[in-house]
Amino acid sequence: MKTVLRVADCKLTSLKTLLKNYHLNLQVQTSLHEAIPGSYWGESEAGLIGNTVYVRTDTPIHSLLHETCHYICMDGARREALDTNAEGDYDEENGVCYLQIILSDFIPEMGKQRMMDDMDNWGYTFRLGSAKRWFDHDAEDAFNWLIHYKIINKKAQVTYKLRP
């Protein structure tokens, strides 16, 4: 598997600041041998319990942002009961993927192109064969879904609002 950007490769202050905009906490575990609380997939994948995203230094940034975006995109009732499984339907999952690409620009070490490359390298699958082709040519439904819930505006700028 190709290398992806990980928490250890980024400044924690930029990660924490981004999450704080959404009333999320970032909890970094120091031991690489401990399971990550709230991780649905296990291994180095980020975990989500309540309003806290759990990571280790070996957690991929795409995983941290994916779980963050699930929190942002889920409705308030699911957010209240959140423990490990973010659930969500097809439209929400597409919104999550689109939003994580947008939010990657707020992490200086990442950016959109690196995020899309990392998503492809990790094994995300899209109808057009790559995250970039999906984002550029096939994600209008995800874009509109995010606008509908006022998570982004029509210029694809984040609003820092959670889905109600």
Residue type, 20: K
CB 58 within 8 A of CB 7: yes
Q: Is residue 2 domain-resident?
A: no
At residue 41, the pLDDT reads: 86
Q: Is residue 157 domain-resident?
A: no
Closest CA to 66 of 21, 31, 104, 34: 104
- Mean pLDDT, the chain, whole residue set: 96
Kindly tell me if the per-residue pLDDT of 155 is higher than 70. yes
CB 97 within 8 A of CB 67: no
Q: Is residue 133 domain-resident?
A: yes
CA distances from 78 to 8, 44, 74, 164 (A): 30, 24, 6, 10
Number of structural domains (the chain) is 1
Q: Is residue 164 domain-resident?
A: no
Kindly state the percentage of the chain with pLDDT values over 90. 89
Q: Is residue 153 domain-resident?
A: no
CA distances from 73 to 4, 33, 69, 83, 109 (A): 24, 31, 6, 15, 24
Instruction: Quote the Cα angle for 164-36-108, to 5°.
Output: 65
At residue 1, the pLDDT reads: 53
Q: Is the pTM of this model over 0.75?
A: yes
Q: Is residue 158 domain-resident?
A: no
Residue located via tokens 């690409």? 101
Note the pLDDT tens digit of each residue in 114-137: 999 999 999 898 888 999 999 999
- Mean pLDDT value of segment 7-11: 97
